[in-house]
Amino acid sequence: MRRAKWAFKLSHCLFAGVLAIGFGIGDAAAQTRVSSIIVEGTQRIPDATVIDLAAITPGSVLSDGEINDVLQRINASGLFQSVVIVPVGSGLRIEVVERPTINRINIEGNDRLSDETLLGVVTSEPRRVYSPTQAESDARSIVEAYVESGRLAARVEPRIIRRTDNRVDLVFEVSEGRVVENERISFVGNRAFSDRRLRRVIGTKQAGFLRSIIRADSFVPERIAFDRQALSDFYQSRGYVDFRVLDVTSEFSRERDSSFVTFTVREGQQFSVGAVSVTSEFPDANIDSYRDALRVRSGETWNPSRIDEQIERLERLALQQGFDFLRVEPRVTRNARDLTLDVEFALVRGQRVFIERIDVEGNTTTLDRVIRRQFDPVEGDPFNPREIRNSAERIRALGYFADVDVQTRQGSAADQIIVDVDVEEQATGSLTFGGTFSTDTGFGLVVEFSERNFLGRGQFVGVQIQTGAEDRDISLNFREPALFDRDLSFGLSITDRTTDFSNAAYETQITSISPSLGFPISENGRLSLKYTLANEDIFNVTGDASQIIAAEAGDLIRSSFGYDYTLDLLRGGLNPNRGVLFSFGQEVAGLGGDTEYLKSTARIVAQRDIWNEEVTLRAILEGGVVAAPSGGTTRITDRFFLSSRQVRGFSSRGIGPRDVGSMESDVLGGNKYVAARFEADFPLGLPEEFGITGGVFFDMGSLWGLDNTDGDLTVDDDFELRSAIGFSLLWDTPVGPLRMNFSNPIKSNPLDDERSFDFTISTAF
């Protein structure tokens, strides 16, 4: 028994000793003193670079874990395909295999997107170290570019081709797949407006006729957020204050080449404006003046943008009256019983905060002042959040930037605010080649170059050349929208036009230069002043031409001054479903030059949408008169002519005074004209993707009055009303908008040139 216990103790001691020796050996093996570092396998990369990446202090003692950390640091550089660290004596041997360098980068299999477009999203570069991780990231970026163009089935695989000297060619093999088309866009929950009407609101479009040519119907996921906002704005502007887009679902076909988009909405009830009142916290404020400034009235359809307009109007009035920190707070009370919203415009004291400065960043081309002049407030002015938001919208509306971000932050003091404007430039120039065809003028070619932000100054420069079977126009246009950094536009137009109409026994050439100034005179009204200096030549008059034309032939100088006033309530009116546009202008010739006259023109357009905005009714009335001084006469280049767009059912220059005694029975133009058009546009019930709508119209008009009808001339220049009815087909074709008019003249003159059918089409390519 005692021997057994002794044997047990002996074995226990031996076991403990073995463990102690083992642990001692393990600890000794886990420590490496580094007195030297040997690097093997490098070709292009210096050994010193590897040693720097290892970050080992000579003479330091490293454990196995610390050696592993060294290995991870070298691997993380991305320069090596493999790294092995081997302890050797009192040092380390670092064995590396360098990654290859990229010789060149190619894109293969792409057709719809160019190499330049795809290489623009690739971050890998030639003569740089090839990184598989970076190549995979580039492949995903290329796929995203295809997704934005509607090809969700696109696949991209990065491949490498080995070359000499440890180089590789990086090739992205693209399988584009088919365009994901919006096969159907539908709405659930809409009662007030049809699916057809709502599809016209959103940016996402349903697959159209000849879909292999049209690309506007491709599925773009990022567009859904815009569609949500567009639907909300549409309903809100029509009084549906509780409208919500509950859900948007997108389902794809098995082949992933078509999508089915469904918008689930909740319309709610339509509200109108109830009681409108004004209250004030300022005892010195004249409440009556603020009430008089309001343009919103009880009973009109509720529209949030109309309320915002009234707030801006009242705050501008407050500034004029010396209340710098007055703010208008709309307080809305809902009346569920009669579906009205009472609104109280409360004049309250705003926070005393000033604008310390406005910082603009990101504008590499556009000058700072072009952006800054969109702000009504400047540095040192009281801070008004509403004015800053409006300024941001004006910057976006310029169209010069792909993205605009306007934010505010705390300034150097508690009462100071800094406004940060961050913009992203986009292309603003374009070169356009186009074609037109009209039954009046035949085929025409259009070449146009335009730059909307010339030299980053916000100026417009355009050159257009348009040729047709019977005329040729060359024009150069320049426009400065903010002369002296004010809401004052300056324009300059230089034109040269030559005509040789088939129904005229003469030709004309008019070369002119016309500077102009434009400025607002009311909220929706604008006045333009214009001076014109022109050389007008009537030549190649045939022997069969009227004596009137022969007497007017020759080369004369016209010097004239004129103005145009426009009141546009089509977009700035009270109701989004109706509007009016009125314009009136006069031109006085005789301020120098060889010709004298006074010309006046007027035009009014009234438009209204009915039947849940499915049908558009439109009425257009226009007229003009030109008069020479007492005893004088007007020239054919001064008088009016009616086109087929003004009175359908007749050719352009097909009605009006004629010299019935001449062999050509020439159309002479008239000193007076009037034209009225009544039309209705409506869907035809065809599948919407065809893009075909219809319309009916009733046109009437007359052109009459000449000065030089004395003597033996047999001229018919009496007032005689012409009229026609008809219907139209409007087709949004892949090559451009096509309009066909089928007309039936009701009342005409035997000398008129009638036309029962005409169509026009234009395109840009």
pLDDT in tens, 581-604: 999 999 999 989 999 999 999 999
Strand partners, 516: 491, 530
What is the arithmetic mean of pLDDT over 242-254? 89
In a domain, 7, yes or no: no
Please state the pTM of the whole predicted model: 0.74
144 three-state secondary structure? helix
Tokens of 642: 């009616």
pLDDT of 571? 65
Task: Answer yes or no: is pLDDT of 505 > 90.
Answer: no
724 and 668 share one domain? yes
| Domain ranges, residue 361 | 354-423
Give the tens place of pLDDT for each residue, 120-143: 899 999 988 888 889 999 999 999
Q: How is residue 415 written in tokens? A: 């009462």
Does 629 score more than 50 pLDDT? Answer: yes
Read off the pLDDT of each residue in 61-82 and give the average, rounded to a whole number: 84
The arithmetic mean of pLDDT across residues 87-111, rounded, is 87
pLDDT at 686 over 50: yes
Structural domain includes residue 11: no
User: What's the pLDDT tens digit per position in 647-660?
Assistant: 999 988 889 998 88
Indicate whether 78 belongs to any domain: yes
Read off the pLDDT of each residue in 660-676 and give the average, rounded to a whole number: 86
Same domain, 389 and 538: no
Q: What is the pLDDT of residue 18?
A: 38
User: Are residues 130 and 260 both part of a single domain?
Assistant: no
| Shared domain check, 142 and 58 | no
Residue 577 predicted with pLDDT over 80? no
Q: Say yes or no: 647 and 690 in one domain.
A: yes
Beta strands of 457-488 (E only): which ranges? Answer: 459-467, 471-480
Per the CB < 8 A criterion, the answer to whether 558 and 530 are in contact is: no
pLDDT on residue 209: 56
Give the pLDDT score at 31.
74
Check whether 750 has a pLDDT greater than 50: yes
pLDDT at 102 over 50: yes
The string of pLDDT tens digits covering residues 352-387 is 999 999 999 999 999 999 999 999 899 999 999 889
What residues have CB less than 8 Å from 145, skipping those under 6 apart?
113, 117, 118, 121
Of 572 and 351, the structure prediction assigns the larger pLDDT to 351
Long-range contacts of 120-127 (CB under 8 A, 24+ apart): 121/145, 122/172, 124/170, 126/102, 127/101, 127/102
| CATH number of the structural domain spanning residue 451 | 2.40.160.50
Residue 763: its pLDDT value, please?
64
Same-domain check for residues 519 and 608:
yes
What per-residue confidence (pLDDT) applies to 457? Answer: 95
Residues 256 and 111 in one domain: no
| 535 and 663 belong to one structural domain | yes
Q: Is residue 1 part of a domain?
A: no
Give residue 491's pLDDT band: very low, low, confident or very high (50, 70, 90): very high
Question: Is the residue at 8 inside a domain?
Answer: no
Indicate if 434 and 499 belong to the same structural domain. Answer: yes
Q: Are residues 560 and 457 in the same domain?
A: yes
Q: What is the pLDDT of residue 15?
A: 39
Please give the share of the chain, as a percent, with pLDDT higher than 90: 54
In a domain, 6, yes or no: no
Query: 563 and 468 in one domain?
Result: yes
Within-domain flag for 12: no
Pairing of strands 80-88, 91-98: antiparallel
Predicted local confidence at residue 214, as pLDDT: 47
Q: How many domains does the chain have?
A: 6
Confidence check: pLDDT of 8 > 60: no
Residue 4 has pLDDT above 70, yes or no: no
What pLDDT is stored for residue 5 in this prediction? 45
DSSP string, 642-705: --TTTSTTB-TT-SS-EETTSTT--B--BSEEEEEEEEEEEE-SS-GGG-EEEEEEEEEEEEE-
**CATH assignment at residue 315:** 3.10.20.310
- Among the three residues 82, 98, 114, which one is the final residue of a domain in this structure? 98
Q: Find the mean pLDDT for residues 530-535.
A: 97
pLDDT value at residue 598: 96
Domain match, 192 and 229 both: yes
- Position 30 scores a pLDDT of 57
pLDDT tens figures, 216-239: 566 777 788 899 999 999 999 999
> Minimal CA–CA distance to 617: which of 682, 683, 675?
682
What is the percentage of the chain residues whose pLDDT exceeds 70? 91
- Confidence band for 86, pLDDT divided at 50, 70 and 90: confident
* pLDDT higher than threshold 70 for residue 251: yes
Q: What is the mean pLDDT of residues 178-200?
A: 89
Statement: residue 213 has pLDDT above 60: no
Strands, E, within 324-366: which ranges? 326-335, 340-349, 354-361
- Tokens 């040693």 correspond to 51
pLDDT above 70 for 735: no
Average pLDDT over residues 301-328: 91
Q: What is the C-alpha to C-alpha distance for residues 579 and 577, in angstroms, rounded to an integer?
A: 7
pLDDT tens-place string over residues 317-333 = 998 888 888 999 999 99
Give DSSP secondary structure letters for 561-609.
Answer: EEEEEEEE-TTTSS-TTEEEEEEEEEEEEEEEES--EEEEEEEEEEEEE
pLDDT of 570:
79
DSSP string, 439-463: TTTEEEEEEEEEEEEETTTTEEEEE
Does some domain include residue 474?
yes
pLDDT at 764: 59
Q: What local confidence, expressed as pLDDT, does residue 124 receive?
A: 92
**Span 692-728, pLDDT tens digits:** 899 999 999 999 999 877 655 678 888 999 999 999 9
- Return the SS3 of 545: coil
Q: Which of 5-9, 27-31, 697-701 has the lowest mean pLDDT?
A: 5-9
- Check pLDDT > 60 for residue 13: no
Residue 576 has pLDDT above 80, yes or no: no
The pLDDT value recorded for residue 574 is 55
| Rounded (10°) angle between helices 47-54 and 64-76 | 130
**Average model confidence (pLDDT) across the chain:** 87
Packed helices 304-320 and 385-397: angle between N→C axes, nearest 10 degrees: 120
Q: Which of 126, 143, 175 is the last residue of a domain?
A: 175
End position of a domain, from candidates 151, 175, 199? 175
